[in-house]
Amino acid sequence: MNQLMGFAAPMTDKNDMKIALITGASRGLGAALAETLAKTHHIVAVARTVGALEELDDRIQAAGGQSTLAPMDITNVDAMAQLCRSIHDRWGKIDIWAHTAVHAAPLTPAGHLDTKDWDKSVATNVTATGRLIPFIAPLLGETGTALFFNDPRAGEKFFGAYGASKSAQIALAQSWQAETITIGPQVHILTPEPMPTATRARFFPGEDRAGLTEPKVEAKRLLTSL
């Protein structure tokens, strides 16, 4: 296991490998994308949960891939700035960035929004994205690819914090997409099929999960669609 902040790793030519940065890599679609991309990319996996990252690393290594773990909170602007600087110093680039990190606030009527849940939703889903794009854009350059994942809940009852903050994140991604369509990087906004993730379980407890698409299957479909 490599940890990007403060570890000694074998020196390699910066152009020897493709690099995929996954923010929100510990579980669900993020982990599935990491495992799928690890077949062709070195994975830089970002998430807060160290244990889940280590389990992801074990699976990637068992399949013959390589990963570097960055256990940190994407709302920590200093940590994310240092992460991007470390990526630049080691590899000089990112080939693909998949941004799956999200805060799913509990469902509640808009008139009963909890201040902490609202603040965390905005900090994670909106503010962190607005900070990450300027950090990561230079690493992607003209030829890299950025992936965002839409979950259109805006205006649905009880989804106020999640729906509003997720919609704001996608609006930001859409602006970046329009701005870079002819100059790069490529920005894709994808809409996954419903999956049996922890986030969905919070929104739909007791749901029959038999008909949902497994994250690994969906990750392969989404990447194939690019």
Examine residue 9 and state whether it is found in any structural domain, yes or no. no
Examine residue 140 and state whether it is found in any structural domain, yes or no. yes
Examine residue 175 and state whether it is found in any structural domain, yes or no. yes
Sheet architecture: strand order including 19-23: 2-3, 67-71, 42-47, 19-23, 96-99, 145-149, 186-190
Point out which residues pair with 146 in neighbouring strands.
97, 187
Examine residue 203 and state whether it is found in any structural domain, yes or no. yes
User: Which two structure tokens, joined as six digits, stand for 3?
Assistant: 């940890």
- Please tell me the total count of domains within the chain: 1
Examine residue 202 and state whether it is found in any structural domain, yes or no. yes
pTM above the 0.95 mark?
Answer: no
Examine residue 4 and state whether it is found in any structural domain, yes or no. no
User: In a structure prediction context, what are the per-residue pLDDT tens digits for the chain, which is 226 residues long?
Assistant: 455 543 334 344 555 789 999 999 999 999 999 999 999 999 999 999 999 999 999 999 999 999 999 999 999 999 999 999 999 999 999 999 999 999 999 999 999 999 999 999 999 999 999 999 999 999 999 999 999 999 999 999 999 999 999 999 999 999 999 999 999 999 999 999 999 999 999 999 999 999 999 999 999 999 999 9
pLDDT for position 15 = 59
Examine residue 6 and state whether it is found in any structural domain, yes or no. no
The residue type of 135 is F
Dihedral of the alpha carbons of 196, 131, 98, 157, in degrees to the nearest 10: 30
Report d(CA 202, CA 63) in Å as an integer: 31
pLDDT for position 8 = 35
Q: What does the pLDDT look like over 45-76, one tens digit per residue?
A: 999 999 999 999 999 999 999 999 999 999 99
Q: What's the CATH code of the domain at 183?
A: 3.40.50.720
Range of the domain at 198: 15-221
